[in-house]
Chain A
Amino acid sequence: MANEIWVIVEQRDNKLKKVSFEILSQARKIADKIKAQVSAILMGYKVEGLANILGYYGAGQVFLCESDILKNYSNEGYSQIVADLAKEHQPLIILGPATAMGKDFLPKVAAKLNTGLASDCTFLDIDANGKLLLKKPIFAGKVIVDVSVSNSLQMASIRPNVLPISEPDESKQVQINKAEVKISTESIRAKVKEIIQSAKDKVDLTEAKVIVSGGRAMKSGDNFKILEELVGVLGESATVGASRAAVDSGFAPHDMQVGQTGKVVNPDLYIACGISGAIQHLAGMQTSKCIIAINKDPDAPIFQKANYGIVGDLFQVVPLLTQEIKKLKTEN
């Protein structure tokens, strides 16, 4: 076995996802504890330019897998490449992101390698024997469990926005190993034909630093524009979310839903507007660092979880808050 911890990094449109740096940073720390190397697996088309940056965050080497077959993501292509490489090089540990991509193909890699994948972990460390110490939320965060992989090759996927990113060290050199991509077009049966992006540069809920969410009390989809306006003054990493009640009432699309049958989020600031705080919603946002609740009903359960609450009409409070923050930002 090679004394290596592998990190499968993720890029879309030749841009590395932040979660790649989060996992690399932590992988570097655990690798130091067991005196192992960190290798990054970079897949795509014409992505060699991204390899050096991976070195800054702790990768000693990069397995570069480039092919026009990899221009678009496919679970069959990506899983085959990682499994083939792992069979050849025998790493100790394989880590990857619990993103739309990672959730889709990492279990397949584990199955090909006949090992277990601890999925969607929010804690990652290692003991002196090289056994991964992992924690994972279940029931959308209502319960946390310790997870372990009983096979010698351990695999884990890590939730975005949880692990801290280390300061990049631009003096670090990285060794690039070009890996031959031995995949035929025919072996990919499920092919991406087109990618439809909704809003340009929209922040994903799972990666957002600030989320302003609306509930049933928003009364209509149009009214969400007051939340958009608040998001507009809260910086680039802010976005709008919604409760299940708002989604089921047709005020917002499902991809905006926060909670047990939506997204589990972990922002620095979560502003709940007109959300009562059903169990399934609280489960999805309770790890937010600071929660603000704005609700007419002083008995709404959301106030029990909020750092700060304002009992009042959101249609009055939210626009005032937008103005106030705008004022604060121009003053500073």
Chain B
Amino acid sequence: MNVVVCLKQVPDTETKIQINPQKDGISDEGVKFVINPYDEYAIEQALRIKEKFGGEVTILCLGPDRATESIRTALAMGADKGVHLCDSAFEKLDSYATAKVLSKALKDIPFNIILLGKQAVDYDNSQVFSILAEMLNLPQVSVVIGLEISDDKTRLIAKREIEAGGLEVVESSLPAIIAAQKGLNEPRYASLPGIMKAKKKEIKKLALSDLGLSPDELKNKINMANFTFPPQRVAGKIIQGEAAEAVCELANLLHQEEKLI
């Protein structure tokens, strides 16, 4: 059972984001970059599939040079090899163009299942899994918190989160694309031997020309501009006094001033 995990490197969620002077992106300076948290669940699930069924786990990552570090981390967790799609033409691609590049690269990687995070926590588009499924003509299940693969490796049962704590139980044929949600598993940490082994694992770098793509094919359909910070909240009133008094005042404020209760 061969598994491909599509990985994205993103700013750590605890990082303070700075907007660049052109207001068309964020500044990389001082930003700690990590594996997209939702992709970690995809990596962990891939490793569990490999442990049960055998086969290979390939990490497929589109990103700048610095993303090599995140691929290396995934290899240290136990993935077998990496493919790094790295080209200045790949900068600032929208979801459609990203899926296009990934779909081209996937033509040369054997897989039975593709796993990725349900969204990247930077641009929050949550679209690549779905567009990729369409381009590759594969079934998809997204926001998955439970995944089982049949012993004959032809079908899967996935639990997918919907609103208000509800779940859909979805059955699908394989190959398929699964978009992971937090709760799917508990991702492992890279072990020391894992980190040592990862140093020797192959990371193949591919550029635009290697994929037989032209820049025209990667024209964005979605454009983002005018990056701004939301209005800053100002600290309000600390209600003083004993708990009972303070609560009484708070309840009255919510009732009379804010008209919320």
Q: Is B124 an interface residue (CB 8 A)?
A: yes
Does the CB pair B14–A278 fall under 8 Å? yes
* Most-contacted residue by chain B among A145, A197, A325 (CB, 10 A): A145
Report yes or no: B165 in contact with A192, Cβ–Cβ below 8 A.
no
Q: Chain A's interface: helix, strand, loop or mixed, by majority?
A: mixed
Q: Which residues of A contact B164 (CB under 8 A)?
A: 197-199, 202-204
Beta-carbon contacts of B33-49 to A below 8 Å, as 1s and 0s?
Answer: 00001100000000000
Give complex CA distance A38, B173 in Å.
Answer: 38
**For residues 167 through 203 of chain A, which have their beta carbon under 8 Å from a beta carbon of chain B?**
189-199, 202-203
Cβ contact within 8 Å between A100 and B143 = yes
Across-interface contacts of B250 in A (CB, < 8 A): 292, 308, 310, 321, 324
A196 to B169, CA, bound (A): 8
Q: Which of B227-261 contact A (CB under 8 A)?
A: 227-230, 233, 235-239, 243-244, 246-248, 250-255, 258, 260-261
Question: Which residues of chain A have C-beta atoms less than 8 A from B173's C-beta?
Answer: 189
Q: Secondary structure of the B side of the interface?
A: mixed
Instruction: Flag if A111 contacts B131 (CB, 8 Å).
Output: yes
Contact A328 B261 (CB under 8 A): yes
Q: B186 — nearest CB in chain A belongs to which residue?
A: A248
Instruction: Give Cα distance in the complex from A194 to B123, angstroms.
Output: 32
Given contacts A193-B171, A310-B243, A321-B250, contact A146 B226 (CB under 8 A): yes
The reply to whether A149 and B121 form a contact with Cβ atoms under 8 Å apart is: no
B224 & A325 in contact (Cβ 8 Å cutoff): no
* A108-B133 contact given A150-B220, A325-B251, CB 8 Å threshold: yes
A324 and B239 contacting across the interface, CB-CB below 8 Å: no
Cβ-defined contact, A145 with B224, below 8 A: yes
Interface residues of B in 131-162 (CB under 8 A from A): 131, 133-135, 139-143, 145, 157, 159-162
CB distance B225 to A146 under 8 Å?
yes
* A328–B162 CB distance below 8 A: no
Q: Point out the residues of chain A lying under 8 angstroms from B228, CB to CB.
A: 143-145
Total count of chain A residues near the partner, CB < 8 A? 100
- Cα distance, A278 to B237, chains bound together (Å): 20
Seen from chain A, the residues whose Cβ lies within 8 Å of a Cβ on chain B are 72-73, 75-76, 79, 99-101, 103-108, 110-112, 115-120, 136-151, 189-199, 202-204, 206-207, 210, 234-235, 253-257, 259-262, 268-269, 278-280, 286-287, 289-292, 298, 303-313, 316-317, 320-321, 324-325, 327-329, 332
- Other A-B contacts than A139-B121, A145-B226, 12 sampled, CB-CB below 8 A, are A101-B162, A138-B124, A150-B223, A196-B167, A196-B169, A261-B121, A269-B254, A279-B15, A307-B236, A317-B243, A320-B244, A327-B251
Q: Chain B: residues with CB nearer than 8 A to chain A?
A: 11, 13-17, 19, 26, 37-38, 94-96, 99, 121-127, 130-131, 133-135, 139-143, 145, 157, 159-173, 176, 181-183, 219-230, 233, 235-239, 243-244, 246-248, 250-255, 258, 260-261
Top 5 nearest A-B pairs (CB, nearest first) are A116-B221, A198-B165, A107-B130, A189-B139, A107-B127
